[in-house]
Structure 1
Amino acid sequence: MTAPRTVPGVRPVIGVDAGTASLREADHLVHHLADRLGLPAGTIACTHLIRTDDRRGTAVSLVPPNAGAAEAAWRRLAALDVPELGAALGDRTHGPLTAARTAALAAAEHTARRGGRAVLYPGVEHLTGTVTAADLLTLTAVDRLTVVGAPADAPGPDPATPVHTRDHVRPEWRDGRLTLALVPAAGGTLAPFEVPEPTPCCADHS
């Protein structure tokens, strides 16, 4: 097996399609793969909505912290006995053609940072209970905070504003930045726009 061609400073992205339909199922898939593939700290894993002629559902993308970790994850992924699983890494594919193509779409979207909802990312372990807006930006990989309903050119929330995480914080790639959408909550506080349904996914993985 040859090593993937990479660009210096660019982290390889693995796309995976295992036939999941909902975001919640994709969240479970992310945690399952993180365990099975031994993904190291610093990995970013996202879910992606897929809408093509052949597929309606979700896929995931995995970005280990370096090329070596990505190659190790790819080898373990290819060794999994999951016939319906498709995967893509650079110009390599694995599994059924349709699933591999969908996996490549997820990988391309994450590589361009134009889409993808982050489930795993550096610092996510700090986002339990109530934190401040400043904590979100200084302790995690989240780059930007927005408040739903605020003008597009409005500054972000006051750094001291409490944010009720509900133990479920899913920022998204927007214009190259990992962005978390927040909504006003009681008492001048904020909360993530996405509400856990019905409870935070995979709490036992925390």
Structure 2
Amino acid sequence: MPTPYALTVDAGLRDLRAADRLLHTLAAELALPEGTFGCTHLVRDDAPRVVVSLALPTDPLLRTAREQLTAQGYEVSSGVPDAVGRAVLYPGVAELTGTLTVGDVPARSAIDRVTVLGSPSRPDPRAHLVTGDHVRPQWQHGELVLTAMPAAGGTLAPFEVPAPTPCCADH
């Protein structure tokens, strides 16, 4: 995460979609600034769940967020649970809509690089990425990395789709 001003919110959520909604709700309720990172984290313990973290640009924002979230009854702890969060809120996310080039992604957002699933080389920066308006990069070794996959017409698409089909849905 890019800042020492971070906290984790455990709302007992079971799925990523609910965690995404919670992050968007918290961003609106707390009027979080553009420099905020909001991530989901999978907790694999006796009670598997998804928690969310907020990394804020300043200590006063962190203290205010902690006070407001605690007052709303959320379980809040300091820091982030791990270094591999899945980013939902990050600088530039609103600019990653429609179809753009791979080179546009780091130029318009906090994403450091784009990789292609199963490929050892970086994609051509001129390759087209069809975002589906759902771009969820992950922290990997201190970098925010978007994993893409080949899509129709020689384009790429983010590996994570907004509404995945459950395994064995047609059985």
Q: Deviations over 1:145-196 (max 9, x none)?
A: 1101112xx2x11111110000000000111110100001122210000011
Structure 2 runs not aligned, ≥5 long: 165-171
Q: How many residues align?
A: 163
Q: Indicate conservation of the 8 Å contact 1:15/1:61, yes or no.
A: yes
* Identity score, percent: 49
Q: 2:169 aligns to what?
A: none
* Alignment-mate amino acid for residue 38 of structure 2: A
Q: Deviations over 1:104-134 (max 9, x none)?
A: xxx141xxxx310000000001011111111
Among 96, 101, 110, the alignment partner of 1:132 is: 101
Normalised TM-score (structure 2): 0.90
Q: 2:60 aligns to what?
A: 68
Among 52, 56, 59, the alignment partner of 2:48 is: 56
Distance in 1, Cα, partners of 2:100 & 2:62: 32
Distance in 1, Cα, partners of 2:58 & 2:23: 18
Q: Indicate conservation of the 8 Å contact 2:3/2:57, yes or no.
A: no
Structure 1 runs not aligned, ≥5 long: 1-8, 91-106, 199-206
Normalised TM-score (structure 1): 0.75
Among 176, 182, 186, the alignment partner of 2:142 is: 176
Measured on the aligned residues, the alpha-carbon RMSD in Å equals 1.4
Paired residues for 1:45-194 under 5 Å: 45-53=38-46, 55-80=47-72, 82=73, 85-89=74-78, 107-109=80-82, 114-151=83-120, 154=121, 156-194=122-160
Q: 2:33 aligns to what?
A: 40
- The runs of at least 4 aligned residues of structure 1 exceeding 4 Å deviation read none
* Alignment-mate amino acid for residue 181 of structure 1: T
